[in-house]
Structure 1
């Protein structure tokens, strides 16, 4: 399978035909022949020969989770073994019978095994004769319904796997076959090309004569005003273009032009601008299950929004549309209480010392995954990746780093969280102020403004706090051993309430630069300045001030509210540190990437989600007017045979248009996929509760309950560096 780069235009749309292929597990078994019976006593068999009403379409269709996949869809399979008499079969995605494997309602191959007589294909032979070449024994595709606005008739789009190389006559033949059995009254039917090789120039008139439009995915997306990023429903007060983020609370549903860099827990979100699917804010909305949507024409004059501004509302975000209803203050209060239940206490081990990443778990990578209570999730996971059975070091024979010829994860120092507790205890006024804040927060009686004021007092006490004897020297000693030539460092947060199963804590805390030759202020205090992008910078840039700043960020307002939402006991939260040399010291940075080890916003589509930005522009907290490149890395077998589908080109400069080529080359994307699949396979092997099935299947199981979220850098010399890995529970 040749590398294919298939370009669509927006980050948030990709047809469900990506899941047209079989599940990537070879099978030579043949299934039952002949028609399939009723599903659990209903009148919905697995296979249907015609669609003649919108009700029938809805009954058989599967919905998307929004974002990558829009609307509802039905898969179809054309049995073309007799080209003179092709037979169309529509798949019932909701079939609940137990007489066939569950995958028969998801994947074309297993559907064919269950439905077609004399079917003897293997996965490989089926894929080859279905997606490649013109003498197709089978045609596999999807009919996807697009709704452009509430008043317009929906469009039903015939779409193929983006890599399908069907020629124009083949496209005409299959479209005519579908047209004969797809007869929803008044429906618009179109063939929509999802790959650049799928053209209709010579058959456009024949399609038109059969009442089939010929469109591209670009034309489809240009008409969309609504994109669901995270489906769900919420109750809250609709806030139009709020200016002060500190005034927002979990009872608000803000409407933004673009998402802010940081956002506290809110009931739901809406933006005018297209969002980055891998931004911290979108990923957190997925983990919380709070709805998030793009509405291109949202604003104070929008006919469905204008009467609800600053009023209590109930909003529903669906794959195929959205609704807003009047609500009441009581309903809002009842539905914005977070998860509820008892507070979860976090452990902190006090029997460990500052350590290099390489020495955290020298003989067993699984031991690092149990150290979040000692060093925090970020530092312990960096120790995990340093081990030879994961990524290893350049000198570890047989490791991936050895094969690449350089270290794939950074060396550095893990500073235990109990040293944070020692710092707090050494400053009793600070400790008392924290105790009061925690007590009031757990009582649930703090107003947003009171929380902001108390956070400011606590953080100022951290900036002025004193280190207990021996703490700072022990960190200096560990740095000298692990990073002997480093002069300028990145002091990264590694809280015990961060990068742990069930709670990523993405973007909640701060990391600061610390220079070893920088002296503390003569007065001993530190302060925060904002850079040109509004991001905080600690001053002076000494190691002591950088550590104080990271410690203080444990009490960021949004961090407190996120922990309260999931009922993490603030009194047991503590901050470890992951100290590395500043990334720019390794070389010129060519790109930043976030990799999620699933295709976001859907089930049934196998692959990873790549989000990449040029140079040192960030993906996780994108600047105003910028947008990252979005790619689906689809793979069935060998990584070298992967397909990379561009769903949006990057916009690194807010004053310029988007790029017209990908940031990385195809070989570089293959390398990034190899690195990240290697980490996920190792994570599965060494964390027993990560995945219930065999780890050989974990990277290609789209329905696994958890995935991984990784951040990487690509340097101008072609080398990758993986900054961190955390679990991700969203879809």
Structure 2
């Protein structure tokens, strides 16, 4: 066992001891039109002023910089059309029960209203939303993703709305589900359509973690040198890195994968994070480079302005997170254990990733890849034998180490090099090789990190450590090299800085290794969270998927994953397509049949884990594959995740 020490608190104190220069500059947020007196409802929208009196900018929208107006077409009142005050009536039901229910024509109770009025051919109402995507100028008619209207009825509804709106032929129908795509088959040549590719092509601003922060603006062109990042910097990035140390805020010029490692790290830290396509081309921001600024990332808008030093100091004083206590290590267990035999309590020797996958494997009906774990005892033996950490307490307490991230980077590189240069116990290598040959000799394998300082409630550690692939028939030397690489990744700078920020005792951290065969016949990989991150009002699961060879967890490059919402608040799953993969040519990666299999698997994970995890976790973050001719779901990972529903409105 490594000796205990307290470098984290010293480093944290340094990170929060920030300079506060005054800074000139101007508010960067765009002006909004003057607010007009609201309208309760209207039968037509003849001009932009009427639209503004009805429209809402919904803080729970999946897309920023959008305005919308809800409508109801009353088929029992000679197709009378109602456009509603969408701020006052965020759901169709609220307007229907208050304004359109009466003797002889009562509106059903809410649950029955939803199941009947969006799905039944004999419904009283046809309902939907007119959405204006402000950056692209796109105007769309959108129905609930579960709406079963036929193509002919959608076409007639479109024509009714077009005649009632001043925008006329600018209106287009946007299908939100595979069901609606199928229903449109007979009318496609008569109905102007918009697709998700157009929506994403027009996106300028993408909020990922909303919030308010202060820091010194740093515009980074080209790759980011992570060793130069400070906790008081708001980074404007031309390129997304694979990892990012603790910082005050992130603005990327590339769209981000919503469930990628950078997005997850920022969400876990509470670090405001956004993408803005023209971020590097704003003269007003260039004038603020190096200056103290306030950044507000809102659900619909953002602002960046010069900051008051006193206000910034007060904000920084509150930033310090609560210290995370990692599970205590058990170095007594040395056997290579089948991952399916592990349970949550085994985190102490198997690490959280392996223990939680073992726990998931006991859930009836779930498929996991299998494999085995190399306990933390073998990492501790490697560290002791290499003497890589003999100077850990003294080095991390040194003033230059605390003050200078480049000094930390140099020492951490030395630690990794020392661990990787030391020979691995030949007996261990032989045991691992024999286990691989006995289990799946013709398969590629992956050695995955599984520390006791990742995949925890309040500390996900997404992307902090390394996983290394080995080829089929790998030699003993290949296995030893991979093992050393995974072990050494405990001391990557991003991992070190993240642990320091959260007050984790580095000496209490150790690496187990989860050794898994590759899943044969995989056709898509994905990440899901078992909560709706946009609103609590419509419970569901957010799905990101990508073709094999593409990543849903890595850096951006404007690579867009396929995204779905699976809604779980009714008696059957409802599916909404948010985007198609930028690698699939507009074709779906996950079919509705795939989602019908994925949804219950995620529901089982959610039900099994949530009450077993301590702390604030309210969702499961799961990695999965779609594999085989039957396209079955394979769960690769399950870890706690916390969705915050606090929203900031930027006027």
Q: TM-score, normalised by structure 2?
A: 0.76
Q: 2:371 aligns with which of 412, 432, 442?
A: 412
In the superposition, the TM-score normalised over structure 1's length comes to: 0.68
- Give the 3 Å change call, closer, same or farther, for CA 418–446 of structure 1 in structure 2: farther
1:507 aligns with one of 463, 468, 476: 463
Query: 2:276 maps to which residue?
Result: 295
Give the alignment of 1:319-330 within 5 angstroms: 319-327=299-307
Q: Offset of 1:375 from its aligned partner?
A: 1.5
Q: Say whether 1:683 aligns with 2:609.
A: yes
Query: 1:554 aligns to what?
Result: 490
Q: Distance in 2 between matches of 1:109 and 1:572?
A: 54
1:497 alignment partner, SS class: coil
Match of 2:33 in 1: none
Is this contact kept in 2: 1:64–1:70, CA < 8 A? Answer: no
How much does 1:107 deviate? Answer: 4.8
Q: Taking structure 1 as reference, are residues 610 and 487 closer, same or farther at Cα in structure 2, changes over 3 Å only?
A: closer
Counterpart in the other structure of 2:245: 264
Matched residue, 2:341? 360
Tell me: CA distance 1:508–1:608, structure 2 relative to 1, closer, same or farther (3 Å): same
In structure 1, what is the equivalent of residue 599 of structure 2?
673
User: Deviations for 1:52-108, whole angstroms, at most 9, x for unmatched residues?
Assistant: 999997999563357545446565656654346666654656xxxxxxxxxxx7654
Partner of 2:503: 567
Question: How far, CA to CA, are the matches of 1:338 and 1:578 in structure 2?
Answer: 37
Deviations 1:20-55 (A, max 9, x none): xxxxxxxxxxxxxxxxxxxxxxxxxx9944699999
Q: Distance in 2 between matches of 1:626 and 1:53?
A: 35
Partner of 1:498: 454
Deviations 1:156-209 (A, max 9, x none): 876432454343333454677799xxxxxxx999755222668899899xxxxx
Partner residue in 1 for 2:642: 729
Matched, 1:432 2:390: yes
- The 1:431–1:330 alpha-carbon spacing in structure 2 relative to 1, beyond 3 Å, is farther
* Contact 1:278–1:611 (8 Å) recurs in 2: yes
The answer to whether structure 1 residue 465 and structure 2 residue 422 are counterparts is: yes
State the alpha-carbon separation in 2 of the partners of residues 266 and 162 from structure 1.
38
SS at match of 1:400: coil
Residue 275 (structure 1) aligned with residue 221 (structure 2):
no
**2:211 is the counterpart of 1:232:** yes
Question: Do the aligned residues in 2 keep the contact of 1:79 with 1:137 (CA within 8 Å)?
Answer: yes
Partner of 2:359: 384
Gaps of 5+ in 1: 1-45, 94-104, 180-186, 205-213, 362-367, 391-398, 402-407, 521-539, 652-657, 692-704
Task: Please name the residue that 1:607 is paired with.
Answer: 540
RMSD over aligned Cα atoms: 4.3
* Shift in CA distance, 417/509, structure 1 to aligned 2, threshold 3 Å: same
1:510 is displaced (CA, Å) by: 0.2
Residues 339, 58 of structure 1: alpha-carbon distance in 2 compared, 3 angstrom cutoff? farther
Whole-Å separation in 1 of the counterparts to 2:196 and 2:370: 45
Q: Structure 2 CA distance, aligned partners of 1:168 and 1:480?
A: 61
User: Are 2:117 and 1:130 aligned?
Assistant: yes
CA distance in 1, matches of 2:334, 2:49: 65
* 2:174 and 2:194 in contact (8 A); partners too: no
Report the CA distance between 1:453 and its aligned residue: 0.7
What is the SS of the residue equivalent to 2:543?
strand
Secondary structure (helix, strand or coil) at the match of 1:167 reads helix
* 1:267-301: CA deviation from partner (whole Å, max 9, x where unpaired): 222233332222111222222222222222232x4
Q: More relative contact order in 1 or in 2 (CA 8 Å, sep 6+)?
A: 2
Q: Is the 8 A contact 1:426 1:468 kept in 2?
A: no
Counterpart Cα distance in 2 of 1:592 and 1:433: 42
Deviations 1:666-723 (A, max 9, x none): 3233323333333223334x627589xxxxxxxxxxxxx6222222223453344321
In 2, the alpha carbon distance for the partners of 1:593 and 1:66 equals: 22
Q: CA contact under 8 A between 2:538 and 2:569: conserved in structure 1?
A: no
Query: 1:452-479 CA distances to partner (integer Å, 9 max, x unpaired)?
Result: 1111111112112355797666766766
Q: Deviations over 1:524-558 (max 9, x none)?
A: xxxxxxxxxxxxxxxx522x332221111111111
Does residue 63 of structure 1 match 2:58? yes
Cα 1:60–1:644, aligned 2, differ >3 Å: closer, same or farther?
closer
Matched residues in 2 for 1:472 and 1:333: separation? 52
Q: Which ranges of structure 2 fall in alignment gaps of 5 or more residues? A: 1-37, 176-180, 645-651
Note if contact 1:155-1:188 (Cα within 8 Å) is conserved in structure 2.
Answer: no
Name the SS of the counterpart of 2:500 in structure 1.
helix
Q: Secondary structure in 2 aligned to 1:371?
A: helix
| Cα drift, residue 727 of structure 1 | 1.7
How far the C-alpha of 1:725 sits from its partner, in A, is: 1.3
Does the residue aligned with 2:390 lie in a helix, a strand or coil? helix
